[in-house]
Structure 1
């Protein structure tokens, strides 16, 4: 069973079940070798109505989708309900509520509940609560409770926290309650009773999905004081059978930091847990007040066998080191073999400062000059962002003729970081403003977008130095949409800020500019695969053509053109994602078209492959692979594939690793 299926054991869908089936061929009567069976066709190849529903979803045509909810064939009602989860039009709420209450097919009711949650319509709250005690299907109760978490009010949270007595022991209902409280927590809705209930759901006797939801809710809900629940969190972090639950519980322990036992617990997890993601979460949970008791564990983690753990340890020292001589950090950094870990610890050395700060700065600048790796150069500039005295060096690197795009992007980020530094000299503020103006006018979309973002930051007080937005307007008008949408959006927000007017709506491309290429979709089998050949090894993906036809077709078309060959993984966030596919190599690149979001009933478990975006319906060519469950992305970013082989490779991917080639296996 895939982990995404494990997340929702109570909501095992028909599509997930199909993935477990294998094709069988009748044994031939002769001794001749059997002919290879033709691969099964995907659902769109043989059903024009499903193609029509998907097209209406892509075109965001709610009124045309609603009649499909009345079709006698359950598959069309299911498809239409799921389509409305992507459209997210609250005008569909009354019809979806009626479907939830009256449809005879449990899967239709599940998808109706899912769509109601996706719309986040508070008008659905009462109908969901009223339906819950009457629902006979366990999986549908799960869906209804999770949907409630997405749309419940603060008053309604009381009912979500306390289940009807008749459902208090139902496994699917408990799982739905846990995920509902998780979704509510992401929206900032919680209470002491909700926290206490989540701690109960974290207990060993509950299903893995329930425990994961509870631990994730405790970890991600803001503003909680979990010190009273330290014992339960410690037990889960140390003993739970599943790494993802241990990892989330370790993260939640950061909210119990006032308990004197927590530092030792985190240090032990960082040293000894067998899964790198738990060790990493323990390091992230370490705070500045606990620096002394956890420091030795963090030192040891700098040489962890997993590079992501080592990087997280370096980030700990950058964020929390206290009275640590910069020279000591420099010495340790120079001995590290991994460039990103080394550069981050060099940043920590500069951050600590002291009498050796000038020598540390020179060491970073020398490494920059000697490195042939553009990403290492970028990270070294990022390190110099900790030292305003390196302003001229960074500015020269950021705008050097013929500079690599990646270096220019990191350079502007470093200049902004220097300006935010409390020691940035007031006399250099006009120079900083001129550097931002230069970045805006550079025609480099990354430098333009980053500079515009800094100009509208009220903390940097740049309105006085750059009051006239004309140069921003000139830069905006040179951009090409939708390719340069992110830079356009940043510039327009800053123009509106300087003019003191309301924000301009983002110009999202319509479906008519890039319709789903049905000829490409219909040529694909039901379960096509792609192999991503990387410098770390191969990763095999199963493309989810039935769930995300437009996104899969775009990926296939770009792959067959060789678009991804030679690209890099430009973003790797430990225990989160490895992201690639950017034509620039810095995350600011795009294709010449946008896609519409396809939010099927899928979940971000380990190895889910999603499309990056700058907001709903702005997906393009960049994609990412999750290291572990990341359920806060569910229903917000299109999932179009799942890793079926090579997660060990994914865990080793680093910024700058190469995508040698992508192949489609049909």
Structure 2
């Protein structure tokens, strides 16, 4: 049934939704049905009947927990607006639901509502009674540094029309950036400065400054990209919009030509972003330079950047003439490492916030386990930064550059088993597509079943989930020991 959800026709979706013979005790059959409907939804294939079916799984609390969880994830991730016949029951069950895995998905689903008169008071009530940070995200009384910086950026956004207040907040952000020494703090501040579009010359300078750490250069480029695609672009720049748009285009192309992995990948993506409203016809003469830059990249280390520039060339040319580069220098599994590990093998990750203990899934993902163990034993992960922390999603590390765009001179094969990211604490391999995995890996905060078909699961947290939940961007892996 799940396989049908991955490749079936719309008629088969109707068949899945109208099954009436399963009892609430038929746990395995219900699991197949709910995963099948979920997989249809992730292919943007859904009907009112499929939404109602998943709603019934959530609202009837005597269904098995994992069935209700998958249904709630469906409602939270489906790309569809929902009317009051859907959102009102979602709000009602969210207020009484005991399991946070289900509550957090239902809270997200409420954001798709047409009826704010009901939804806003419901969300406010959820906020007041919530105790799990993954649902609430933060508390009013304990704002950490990154939260304060985020609030400064938000304040800058909403004071754009009030010059005195805007200039004061903007100056405070600029001064905070100049005085900051932690590169991840500087990256956050740059993203905040992007809320006022006229900061783009400062952001350009920081993106081009090769003395800056990779994370700062990449964050500055991301900030320029957000200005370029801002829905308020013409309101911000008014009569200067055409001139600024032309200048931003020039900046983005110059950043691609640097061939700096993170900077070039982000800039290339921004160029092809339809929201940026760049004139494709005026970019035709840049294709040859883009192609030369793409060809100059080191592979497979910079495969993700190669792919981003490739997509941009094809976007400008309105073709798919430049074919996707296949993974290269595939490392064969070291069976000597695998045979030396028992089925109970573990890894202990010592971090700046405490220890995290993993059970290595040797039989499920031998290639990924062997690669992880090999890198750990050479000390590769020592002092690597958790460069990506997305609340209620993942923490990620293992990047040699520290910005998510780094890799080594080989790749390993994907190992996509029938396992599901159906609870917190699964450890997966980051990738830029099938068979491009190498050194980066992540740990999930909560169920993330949309990752199932594409990301290898090679370990599971068995101790230290409290440490995982404490991690913030910039925290360090101090060492990894294999037991």
TM-score normalized by the length of structure 1: 0.67
The worse-fitting range, judged by mean Cα deviation, of 371-380 and 446-455 is: 446-455
Q: Summarize deviations over 1:60-102 as a string: whole Å, max 9, x none.
A: xxxxxxxxxxxxxxxxxxxxxxxxxxxxxxxxxxxxxxxxxxx
- Is 1:469 the counterpart of 2:275? The answer is no
Question: Equivalent residue for 1:160?
Answer: 16
* 2:309 matches 1:491: yes
Question: In the alignment, what sits opposite 1:513?
Answer: 330
Contact 2:88/2:118 (8 A) holds in 1:
no
The answer to whether residue 180 in structure 2 is matched with residue 180 in structure 1 is no
> Would you say the 8 A contact 2:24–2:63 is kept in 1?
no
Query: Any stretches of 5+ residues in structure 2 without a counterpart?
Result: none
Contact kept, 8 Å, 1:467 with 1:498, in 2: the verdict is no
* Match for residue 393 of structure 1 among 166, 186, 202: 202
- Summarize the Cα distance change of 1:373–1:259 in structure 2 as closer, same or farther, 3 Å threshold: closer
What is the deviation of 1:412? 1.3
CA distance in 2, matches of 1:499, 1:179: 39
Mark the structure with the bigger radius of gyration: 1
**1:536, CA displacement in angstroms?**
0.8
Q: Do the aligned partners of residues 616 and 387 (structure 1) sit closer, same or farther apart at CA in structure 2, a change above 3 Å counting? A: same
What is the match of residue 567 of structure 1? 384
Structure 1 residues 166 and 626: alpha-carbon distance in aligned structure 2, compared to 1, 3 A threshold: closer
Which of 226, 244, 265 is the aligned partner of 2:101? Answer: 244
| Corresponding residue for residue 267 of structure 2 | 451
Question: Which residue matches 2:74?
Answer: 217
Deviation at 1:444?
1.3
Residues 600 and 393 of structure 1: CA distance in aligned 2, closer, same or farther (over 3 Å):
same
Aligned residue number for residue 362 of structure 2: 545
Q: Which residue is equivalent to 1:341?
A: 147
TM alignment of 1:299-378, pairs within 5 A? 303=140, 305=142, 338-352=144-158, 353=160, 354-355=162-163, 356-378=165-187
Cα separation, 2, equivalents of 1:567 and 1:596: 23
Counterpart Cα distance in 1 of 2:314 and 2:210: 32
Q: Secondary structure at the match of 1:156?
A: helix
Distance 2:463 2:141 in 1: 24
How far apart are the structure 2 equivalents of 1:523 and 1:211?
A: 40
**Contact preservation (8 Å) 2:91, 2:122:** yes
Contact 2:5 2:36 (C-alpha < 8 Å) held by counterparts: yes
CA distance in 2, matches of 1:393, 1:228: 49
RMSD: 2.1
1:383 is displaced (CA, Å) by: 1.2
Structure 2: distance between partners of 1:166 and 1:399 = 60
Cα separation, 2, equivalents of 1:546 and 1:169: 31
CA displacement at 1:466 relative to structure 2 = 6.7
C-alpha deviation, 1:257, in angstroms: 4.7
User: Which residue of the partner structure matches residue 481 of structure 2?
Assistant: 663
- Aligned partners of 1:583 and 1:651: how far apart in 2? 23
The 3 A distance-change label for structure 1 pair 230 and 480 is closer
> Superposed, which structure 2 residues align to 1:513-662 within 5 Å?
513-604=330-421, 605-662=423-480
The alignment's TM-score, normalised by the length of structure 2, stands at 0.92
User: Following superposition, which runs of at least 4 residues in structure 1 exceed 4 angstroms of deviation?
Assistant: 166-169
Deviations 1:557-584 (A, max 9, x none): 1111111100100111110001111110
CA contact (8 A) 2:81 2:114 kept: no
Aligned-residue offset at 1:516: 1.1
Report the CA distance shift for 1:600/1:415 in structure 2 as closer, same or farther (over 3 A). Answer: same
Q: Are residues 392 and 166 of structure 1, via their aligned partners in 2, closer, same or farther at CA, if it must alter by over 3 Å?
A: closer
Q: 1:463 to 1:349 in 2, by over 3 A?
A: farther
CA-CA distance at 1:231 after TM superposition: 4.5
Select which of 274, 279, 293 maps to 2:136: 279
Evaluate the alpha carbon distance shift between residue 454 and residue 174 of structure 1 in structure 2; reply closer, same or farther with a 3 A threshold: closer
Q: For 1:528 and 1:557, locate their aligned partners in 2 and report how far apart those are by CA, in whole Å.
A: 14
Aligned equivalents of 2:224, 2:436: Cα separation in 1: 29
Match of 1:408 among 197, 206, 217: 217
CA–CA distance in 2 between the matches of 1:215 and 1:222?
14
Distance 1:618 1:347 in 2: 35
Offset at 1:495?
A: 2.7
CA 547–401 in structure 1, closer or farther in 2 if over 3 Å, else same:
closer
Aligned partner of residue 349 in structure 2, secondary structure: strand
1:382–1:414: 8 Å Cα contact kept in structure 2?
yes
Aligned in 2, Cα 1:501/1:248: closer, same or farther, shift over 3 Å? closer
Q: 1:175 to 1:456 in 2, by over 3 A?
A: closer
> Which range is displaced more, 338-347 or 429-438?
429-438
Gaps of 5+ in 1: 1-144, 281-300, 306-335
State the Cα deviation string for residues 526-583 of structure 1 (Å, max 9, x = none): 1211111111111111111100000011101111111110010011111000111111
Shift of 1:441: 2.8
Partner of residue 266 from structure 1, selected from 123, 126, 129: 123
